[in-house]
Amino acid sequence: MDDFKNQKVLHKRYAFEIVLRIREILMALPSLVDINVPDGKHFTVCGDVHGQFFDLLNIFELNGLPSEENPYLFNGDFVDRGSFSVEVILTLFAFKCMFPSAIHLSRGNHESKSMNKIYGFEGEVRSKLSDKFVELFAEVFCYLPLAHVINEKIFVVHGGLFSTDGVKLSDIRAIDRFCEPPEEGLSFGGDVTKRFLKDNNLDLVVRSHEVKDEGYEIEHDGKLITVFSAPNYCDQMGNKGAFIRFEAPTMEPKIVTFSAVPHPDVKPMAYASNFLRMFN
């Protein structure tokens, strides 16, 4: 992490070892992962980081490094847009290799080939590692779990709930996730949230995916929290970042907000496709 901070790159050999090891770990996981937080212990959920490595370091500064005593869930969109995506993904993957139970990772819509081609990750991987890594990351992203349930009460997923009603946790467990995601998105109202929670005996939905001025937003009578952890998104949105800490047994959400920290002068989207840079 210190080397990354000083804009050094990791030798390809070690990057390979990390990515191949993470592939084994992720392949063995179910599509829906159950997390247990024992009484008296805490758990932190972060939203999109989007290649903002120096803000990721700031999260660890504020809330401690991931460890078995200080576990995290990063809820998708680790890469793209920010120009330190390789540093973000290798750091998160390395922690997961070291302490598999200290860090959990959900797939976001930017953990996909089509997004990575346009929004910078693919170009950054070619520049900092090699062409071979582009394919390797694309494969590994397909193995990321789709959702997590914490203490049988809190459902965490990147984008949100489903365009169809009546989805059960068992349906999510049964998804064969080893593929590129479909194109269509979804949106949902409070009625959908409440019905999903009731059907599955849950208390809260946490999702990410959307930038929020304060880094978070609470909706649907407190039953839905959006958390977004990339402050001053793309160096221009002026938003705060946030993360949520839950403490067992109550699992009441405590939201911590933070501001962006300085980073080296590499613009967001520096590695994006030329077509997109024209509009930036």
Bridge partners (DSSP) listed for residue 157:
147
Assess whether pLDDT exceeds 90 at residue 205. Answer: yes
Extract the tokens encoding 81: 């847009």
CA distance 80 to 99: 25
Characterize the bridge pairing of strands 154-157 and 147-150.
Answer: antiparallel
For residues 266-271, give the mean pLDDT: 93
Assess whether pLDDT exceeds 60 at residue 164. Answer: yes
Predicted local confidence at residue 186, as pLDDT: 52
Predicted local confidence at residue 97, as pLDDT: 98
CATH number of 22-263: 3.60.21.10
Predicted local confidence at residue 259, as pLDDT: 98
Quote the DSSP letter at residue 179.
Answer: S
Assess whether pLDDT exceeds 60 at residue 184. Answer: no
| pTM as predicted | 0.96
CA distance 153 to 95: 26
CB 242 within 8 A of CB 257: yes
For residues 29-51, give the mean pLDDT: 98
CB 59 within 8 A of CB 228: no
CA distance 14 to 40: 37
Predicted local confidence at residue 240, as pLDDT: 98
CA distance 109 to 58: 24
pLDDT one-digit tens code per residue, 94-150: 999 999 999 999 999 999 999 999 999 999 999 999 999 999 999 999 999 999 999
DSSP per-residue codes, 208-268: --S--TTSEEEETTTTEEEEB--TTGGGTS---EEEEEEETTTTEEEEEEE------S--T
CA distance 135 to 222: 41
Catalytic residue numbers? 110
Extract the tokens encoding 70: 């200080």
